[in-house]
Amino acid sequence: MKKRILGNGLEVSTLGLGCMGLSFGYGPATEKNEAIKLIREAYDQGINFFDTAEAYGPFENEKLLGEALAPFRKDVVIATKFGFKEGEPGKGLNSHPDRIRKVAEESLKRLNTDVIDLFYQHRVDPDVPIEEVAGTVKDLIQEGKVKHFGLSEAGVESIRKAHAVQPVTALQSEYSLWWREPEKEIIPTLEELGIGFVPFSPLGKGFLTGTIDEKTEFAKDDFRNIVPRFNEENRKANQALVKLLGKIAEEKDATSAQIALAWLLHQKPFIVPIPGTTKLHRLNENIGSADIILSAEDLKKIEQALEQIDVQGARYPEQMQKMINN
């Protein structure tokens, strides 16, 4: 797989692997041996960029990656995150310097490594100046415990303030064919400052694969049950986007998921999506998207069609929305 550069020189595979769903968020956790098999298969197929966080589980996802990636640790890039009280999103935010340091030390142990390649602030904490957060990570970089600093779901002002203290290597935020808000201000700012962009949920939490409709039932502990965009009425309304993708995919002898990922890769050379999956066949399908070429005409056709589609439903419940774009 080809490589891309994030920010100030972090080289990663064109696609990364978002590992959250193996432990958290989308129903029961994947059985450990199966999860390790999937992570190692991703590595064998050229993926060297793996995304986790203390909050996924909490803690279990980092342990999983630590074990799965141990045989080739020096050949991969591991990104993890800090920013929640006790590592649990439900307890609120905490990016105080002592907490950041504690998370770094504990994540190093769970990941079975001596350095964190990319350390993201999971969400901007309005109670802690972003300059203080950036300064703490800068100290960790100087101490050799962290290599690169990242932000997640941060707004333009926070990005600029943080970047002035410690260069931000990557911003991780949601971006896909059904959430294009970053195109307004975020992507131009990242391009200006030389910061990489790592879209999470590049397949719209599975919706853009074409395998979800208004009749789909999620596991009781699946996060999508509380997402407004996934209520039955909105899933029905949003099928227009899935149909469009299906039509283009058919013309390209590809799948809807592959077209959605290929579209992202064609937006900017500093974009590295991190689709997640628990299934080997989906992993192979996602990897195939890196080889799909969309012509200027293809992209224009997608753009024109998207202008006719109004995606329905908020992407997060109200409480979670408050933590975003500070």
Does pLDDT of 51 surpass 70?
A: yes
Q: Provide the pLDDT for residue 319.
A: 79
> What distance in Å separates the CA atoms of residue 110 and residue 123, rounded to the nearest whole number?
21
Find the mean pLDDT for residues 279-302.
Answer: 96
Residue 261 near residue 13, CB atoms below 8 Å: no
Does pLDDT of 326 surpass 80?
A: no
Q: Provide the pLDDT for residue 185.
A: 98
What is the set of domains in the chain, with CATH numbers?
Answer: 3-204+268-292 (3.20.20.100)
Q: Which residue has the higher pLDDT, 221 or 170?
A: 170
| pTM score of the predicted model | 0.97
- Angle in degrees, 0-180, between the axes of helices 130-142 and 156-165, rounded to the nearest 10: 40
Find the mean pLDDT for residues 154-174.
Answer: 98
Find the mean pLDDT for residues 193-203.
Answer: 98
Phi-psi region of 190 (alpha: psi -120 to 50; beta: other; left: phi over 0): alpha
Q: Provide the pLDDT for residue 318.
A: 84
> What distance in Å separates the CA atoms of residue 202 and residue 206, rounded to the nearest whole number?
9
Q: Which residue has the tokens 């100290």?
A: 139
pLDDT digits (tens, 9 = 90+) for 108-129: 999 999 999 999 999 999 999 9
Task: With cut-offs at 50, 70 and 90, classify the pLDDT of residue 325.
Answer: low
Which is catalytic among the residues 56, 120, 175, 316? 56
Task: With cut-offs at 50, 70 and 90, classify the pLDDT of residue 322.
Answer: confident
Q: Which of 63-67, 276-280, 309-313, 321-325 has the lowest mean pLDDT?
A: 321-325
Provide the CB-side half-sphere exposure for 197 (13 A, CA).
Answer: 28
Q: Provide the pLDDT for residue 114.
A: 98
Q: Which residue has the tokens 């799965």?
A: 68
Find the mean pLDDT for residues 149-178.
Answer: 98
Find the mean pLDDT for residues 142-154.
Answer: 98
Q: What is the DSSP letter of 58?
A: T
> What distance in Å separates the CA atoms of residue 233 and residue 213, rounded to the nearest whole number?
10
Annotation marks residue 56 as catalytic: yes
Does pLDDT of 202 surpass 70?
A: yes
Q: Provide the pLDDT for residue 323.
A: 79
Find the mean pLDDT for residues 34-43.
Answer: 98
Q: How many residues are present in the chain?
A: 326
pLDDT digits (tens, 9 = 90+) for 53-64: 999 999 999 999
H-only helix segments in the chain: 32-44, 60-68, 97-110, 130-142, 156-165, 186-193, 232-237, 239-252, 256-267, 280-288, 296-306, 318-321
Q: Provide the pLDDT for residue 321.
A: 83
In percent, the amount of the chain with pLDDT more than 90 equals: 94
Q: Please state, rounded to an integer, the average pLDDT across all residues of the chain.
A: 96
Question: Is it true that the peptide bond before 58 is cis, omega within 30 degrees of 0?
Answer: yes
In the structure encoding, which two tokens stand for residue 295, read together?
């012509």
